[in-house]
Amino acid sequence: MSQVCLVVGAGPGIGSAVGMAFAKEGYGIALAARNATRLQPYCDEIRRATKRAARAYAADAADEHSLRALFERVTAELGAPEVVVYNASNAHKGRPCTVPPQQWIEDFNVNVVGALICAQLAAPPMREQGHGTIILTGGGFALEPSAPYASLSAGKAALRSLTYSLAQELGGYGIHVATVTVYGLLQVGTHFDPNRIAATYVRLHHQTRGRFEIEVEYK
């Protein structure tokens, strides 16, 4: 089995671009989202462009059992992921005093708890191997909260904090935990082209122990 990169929360932006970038590095790719059918075109494109394995998986980032099943399937079919990228998010609009508490909880489960579960599932085999990379996709709202996007802002701030605490816990085992804090809207052909951003994920993965960056502010 080849080295494997798993992207949770894949889609037409950063997720699929990260998959392509790691496939070009020789990795087998697992793309996961709620609707696996929508991921098939990206898997087909990756296979055509790189000749690497690329498979689509259905998984709910807000559901622990679904994520556990995802990791089990990917490990059985491709191998234990050496790189895990958490790219899932819920971005409902709403100010702090108007967001229903249940919506806040649902958003937090996707924006933060799903990332925690993925890290917990990815870490044991990485610890055993003495290396691995976990990258969480952050956003500028983590440092500059937006009232109209209160839930997402709180989620990105919590995700950033989670990244730092995971890095403290896992860095000593040779596991690189990092976040890419993206300050801007994705747009092909600009500085915020998903393919340009994806290159940052690859660069982080290739950093050597003792030189791990925990956060890259992509501006």
Query: For 31-62, what is each residue's pLDDT tens digit?
Result: 999 999 999 999 999 999 999 999 999 999 99
Query: What angle, rounded to 10 degrees, do the helices at 150-170 and 101-108 form?
Result: 30
Quickly state the pLDDT bin for 199 (edges 50, 70, 90).
very high
What distance in Å separates the CA atoms of residue 191 and residue 188, rounded to the nearest whole number? 8
Q: What is the mean pLDDT of residues 194-203?
A: 98
The pLDDT of residue 8 is above 70: yes
Query: 2 falls in which pLDDT band (50, 70, 90)?
Result: confident
* Ranges of each domain in the chain: 4-218
Q: How far apart are CA 67 and CA 60, in angstroms?
A: 7
Single-letter amino acid, residue 210: G
Mean pLDDT across 121-125? 98
At residue 87, the 3 state secondary structure works out as: coil
**For residue 1, pLDDT beyond 70:** no
Q: What is the mean pLDDT of residues 201-215?
A: 97
Contact 88, 9 (CB under 8 A): yes
Assign 127 to helix, strand or coil.
helix
For the domain 4-218, what is the CATH superfamily, name and number? NAD(P)-binding Rossmann-like Domain (3.40.50.720)
pLDDT confidence of residue 49: 98
